[in-house]
């Protein structure tokens, strides 16, 4: 799952660079996406520990 973020986050940043949004808004969107990936990876780790 974490390797998925290596592909998706740069693509998201590139797509956001094509919008008319301010840099602050674009940065916030990328930060939220990174946070979501952190939560997903942590959740997958907890799930793996609990189901072993």
- The pLDDT, as a whole number, for residue 49 is 96
Whole-Å CA distances, 15 to 2, 7, 41:
20, 13, 24
For 1-52, where are the alpha helices, taking DSSP H only? 2-17, 23-50
- The pLDDT, as a whole number, for residue 26 is 98
Residue range 1-52, pLDDT digits in tens: 678 899 999 999 999 999 999 999 999 999 999 999 999 999 999 999 999 8
Measure the CA angle with vertex 10, ends 16 and 19; round to 5°.
10
- The pLDDT, as a whole number, for residue 52 is 84
Model confidence, pTM: 0.86
Q: What is the DSSP letter of 21?
A: S
- The pLDDT, as a whole number, for residue 2 is 75
């Amino acid at each position: 799952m974490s390797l998925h973020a290596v592909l998706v986050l740069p693509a998201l940043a590139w797509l956001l660079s094509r919008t008319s949004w301010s840099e602050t808004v674009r940065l916030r969107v990328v930060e939220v996406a990174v946070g979501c990936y952190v939560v997903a990876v942590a959740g997958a780790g907890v799930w793996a520990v609990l189901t072993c």
